[in-house]
Homo-oligomer: A and B are copies of this chain.
């Protein structure tokens, strides 16, 4: 997308857009001739909406490419995930709700165990408990290095997010984590001149860690990898003219939403119902809502076909609550497919429904992979969905005379 052109074409409107993402929505039949998870689910409300909608399939990153959740969400938000790559470290930090700033250098950290010669004997320090990990993080937070600031956020067990903040930092850095036991940790090296300062600061941090944790057990050292800075993504308010809100429970999705300029709303309870209630509560305050449902992906990744079906049915039951507010545009899709049959993300294009007053309904009263393959929308790139949403919301003016 040419964001600068789009920005010029955007016009204000009183319309509201809802993007409902069931993570990993796309599926596969378990047996030849069978139905997918979405096709199996009893979804009278989604089917009724489908009859008034355009149906299609969306591709997160082109044919054959399987995406992670980060790139998958970039795509459904309108950004080519290959062009705007978010590094692993940055995703990890976004995932803990840390407010990562544009020039921060983020990394994935492990507490590990080293022997008296500094040789790594356990890259995960026996998967120490999250509580102990928190105590260890508190120790690391006492480290000071001139001219930079550090943030350490425990994630789970041995894992933590590492952030360095300061002027003139680059993230072209080699890892400290050799990725196997029996080796010492590596000196972090700058891979370009702009990253020299960051490399020095990180090596000093690691050096202090080595001393501070020397007497601890089992976690007496750290390993860092996946150094990254945030890509600069054109912001929703500025480029799309939207006042957008995100409703998501998991940190990473909240982080990616924040990255594109969405306000991330608090969801009181970890339930889909609570997400829909949050949507209803904030209805008047925003004109774009991203609602993220995680469990479809979780069950898909677990290979739990029936579990995924049930989550889809739960969402279906809540649809009247969403539709009662009369959104002008509703897009229902996924960030990628997660077929229970594969227990993993997959490359399969994702069933997608586009509802507005201005679609040409294809008369297909079913929301499912094969119904969508027959739909009017055809196969679209996920990054183009925002354009269709804005157009259907009367928010893009004519190009040229």
Question: Which residue numbers of A lie inside 8 Å of B, CB to CB?
Answer: 2, 5, 9, 28-29, 32-33, 36, 52, 57, 61-72, 81-82, 85-86, 88, 91-92, 339, 341-342, 344-348, 358, 360-363, 369-370, 373-376, 378-380, 384, 387-392, 396-401
Contact = CB atoms under 8 A, between A and B. Distances in A.
B400 A86 contact: yes
Given A360-B370, A379-B378, A398 B68 contact: yes
Contacts of A358: 28, 339, 341-342, 346, 348
Given A5-B82, A28-B358, A82-B2, A66 B370 contact: no
Contacts of A369: 360, 376
A57 B69 CA distance: 30
Main SS class of interface, A:
loop
A66 B360 contact: no
Contacts of A92: 401
A399 B28 contact: no
B391 A33 contact: no
A92 B396 CA distance: 23
B68 A399 contact: yes
B68 A347 contact: no
Most chain B CB inside 10 Å of its own CB: which residue of A61, A347, A363, A370: A347
A399 B81 contact: yes
A65 B348 CA distance: 27
Given A68-B400, A387-B65, A399-B68, A370 B362 contact: yes
Given A70-B400, A347-B396, 19 more contacts: A29-B360, A61-B399, A62-B387, A63-B384, A64-B384, A64-B390, A64-B391, A66-B398, A67-B399, A68-B401, A70-B401, A82-B399, A88-B400, A345-B398, A346-B358, A348-B360, A362-B370, A373-B375, A378-B379
